[in-house]
Amino acid sequence: MRLFFCSDIHGSQVCFQKFLNAAKFYKVQVLILGGDITGKAIVPIVRDGNSYSADMLGLPQTAKGQEGLSALERRIADVGYYYYVADSRETEKLAADPPRLDRLFTELMIQRLQSWLDLASERLAGTGARCYIMPGNDDREEAIKLLDTSTYVINPDKRVVEVDSHHEMISLGYANITPWKCPRDVPEDTLMTMIDDMASKVKDVKNCIFNMHVPAFDSGIDVTTALDSDLKPIMSSSGPQQVSAGSTSVRSAIEKYQPLLALHGHIHESRGVAKIGRTMCLNPGSEYSEGILRGALVQLAETKVKSYLLVSG
């Protein structure tokens, strides 16, 4: 059985489309999206008559007419942001009204996710490919509820699912506490309880896949930039200083249960492969803002990982 795993696309429209097309492109039977699926920001597109302007990634963008506006919206969506068309007065009002801004975030988030779920049904139905999409620590409750309503996409979070006749998978999109206090950051002991609870229901844990958003602490695939108290990277002679930011509970669980395979995301810049005992741990990293879909192709035999390749699609 061949699977494709990716994570942390953070609202990127083009990355999601590539994710769906990965089934055919890489000839895989199983698609897994390992969390952090929703976007981080709204780009206001300021309307002035038939002209539109926006500031995207520090670059001023302008558009004219409906066609220009559509192209601009597409560019914004591809980097993972949401767009909101309004005149300058409305934009200012929005900025001054955090509760309304929060509601708008949820609305745009739901809107895009719904369109993704529709697209998944449309493109994958009849292909035989199974599609698992898990929320991550960045994703809100409203998005999770919507995922659960899908008729095609399976939300595997906090569940045991049978990926094929030989392999079960347990999934957890929660993370240990991050400096940003994300919606689904929880203490380490809570994470451990959740993992133990799922693992106890697995028939053959040695042949199981652990789909855990956060990688194991000190695994080499959890390395990120060290931040000072002001969330500013600490520099060293070879660049920003690096630290491990993974979960000690995930590490303990992998050491304790020794599953066949562990799939992770969360730390975008820590693409790599690690071995913890017999368990192969993969983090394909993320480059969603460039429209590049980083992923892992894994070929599974009955009781072993036959081969793998980290790809940039």
Partner 1 sequence: MSQKGTLFVRSTSGLARSVTTFDAFTFGFFMMGVGPIGAIVYGMGASIFPSGNIGLAVLISTIGAMFTTSVYAMLTAAMPRSGGDYTYVSRILHPSIGFAGNFNWALLNIFWVASDALLLVYFVGIACYGLAVVTGNTALMAAGTALSLDLNTIAAATVVTIIAAGLVAAAGIKWCTRIQVVGFAVSVLGLIVAIGFFGSTSNPDFIVKYDAVMGQNAYMNVIDAARNAGFVPGGGGNWLIPTLGIAAMACMATLYGMFSTFIGGEVKNAGSVRTQMKAMIGSTVFSGLSIAIVGFLVVYSVGQDYLGAVNYILYSDPASYPFLTAPYYNLLGAIASNNAWIALIFGISFLPIGVVWCIGCTLVATRCMFAWSFDRVVPSQIAYVDPRTRSPVVATLVVIVVATILGAVLVYNQALYYMLFGSIAGTLFSMVAVMIAGIIFPYRRKDIYDKSPSAQKVGGIPLVSILSLIALAFLGLFLYFYLGYPEIGFWAPLSVGLFVGVWVVGFAIYAVSYLVRRSQGIDLGMLFREIPPG
Q: Which residues ranging from 5 to 24 are in contact with partner 1 (CB under 8 A)?
A: 10, 14, 17-18, 20-22
Residues pairing with 261 in the sheet: 209, 280
What is the three-class DSSP state of 53?
strand
Q: Does 54 bind partner 1 (CB under 8 A)?
A: yes
Q: Give CA torsion, residues 215, 308, 271, 168, to 10 deg.
A: -20
Measuring CA to CA, how many Å separate 66 from each of 14, 46, 77? 21, 14, 16
CB of 160 to partner 1, least distance (A): 27
Nearest to 254 by CA among 221, 215, 295: 215
- Contact (Cβ atoms closer than 8 angstroms) between residue 295 and residue 311: yes
Q: Does 73 bind partner 1 (CB under 8 A)?
A: no
Q: Does 160 bind partner 1 (CB under 8 A)?
A: no
Q: Which residues ranging from 171 to 200 are in contact with partner 1 (CB under 8 A)?
A: 175, 178-182
- Joined tokens for residue 214: 């956060």
What is the three-class DSSP state of 311?
strand
CB of 309 to partner 1, least distance (A): 5
Q: Does 67 bind partner 1 (CB under 8 A)?
A: no
Q: Which residues ranging from 200 to 229 are in contact with partner 1 (CB under 8 A)?
A: 218, 220, 225, 227
Of 158-166, 191-199, 256-264, 293-301, the segment contacting partner 1 by CB under 8 A is 293-301
Please, which residue, 54 or 260, has the CB nearer to partner 1? 54
Q: Which residues ranging from 88 to 117 are in contact with partner 1 (CB under 8 A)?
A: 91, 94-95, 98, 101-102, 105
CB of 200 to partner 1, least distance (A): 27
The sign of the dihedral angle between the CA atoms of 140, 146, 147, 148 is positive
Q: Does 47 bind partner 1 (CB under 8 A)?
A: no
- Contact (Cβ atoms closer than 8 angstroms) between residue 294 and residue 264: no
CB of 283 to partner 1, least distance (A): 10
Alpha-carbon Rg for the chain in angstroms: 20
CB of 201 to partner 1, least distance (A): 29
